[in-house]
Amino acid sequence: MSELRDAALAVRENAHAPYSGFKVGAALRGASGAVYRGCNVENVAYPEGTCAEAGAIAAMVAAGETSFTEAYVVAGSPEPVPPCGGCRQKLAEFGAGSAPVTLATTGGAEQATTVAALLPGAFDAGHMA
């Protein structure tokens, strides 16, 4: 997991967060083993900003992969950063429910969870059958 932590910490440095001052980094391990990174990218039109998790997912999909086996999210928060609701849904689109997700602080605290635990009762394609 330290490879993912290192990747998430490094990309967090590139976050564009002049409005919140809250930088977030995310790293995903694709099914191929490749690591994809994303940071939050804010906008003066606040709702147009994007989260770190969304950036990492976009990088993975752009590279031709559509599933990840583990995820790591880090922020300079006092407690491990919980992904927003939208990011929980985005993670559920590309990760199995059992996929481990580590929420972390830059200081080294970590909280282990899974895609399913982050989004109980998730809406999925089966609900449209």
CA distance 20 to 46: 10
Which of 53, 65, 70, 110 is labelled catalytic?
53
Q: How far is the CB of 40 from ligand THU (least distance, A)?
A: 3
Which residues are at the interface with ligand THU (CB under 6 A)?
17, 20, 22, 24, 40, 42, 49, 51-53, 73, 81, 83-84, 87
Determine whether 93 is an active site residue: no
Nearer to ligand THU, 20 or 32 (CB): 20
CA distance 49 to 110: 26
- Which secondary structure element, helix H or strand E, spans residue 113, and what is its range? strand 110-114
Nearer to ligand THU, 49 or 97 (CB): 49
Task: Please spell the DSSP secondary structure of 11-72, one letter per residue.
Answer: HHTT-B-TTT---EEEEEEETTS-EEEEE-B--SSGGG-B-HHHHHHHHHHHTT---EEEEE
Q: How far is the CB of 89 from ligand THU (least distance, A)?
A: 12
Nearer to ligand THU, 52 or 115 (CB): 52
Catalytic residues: 53
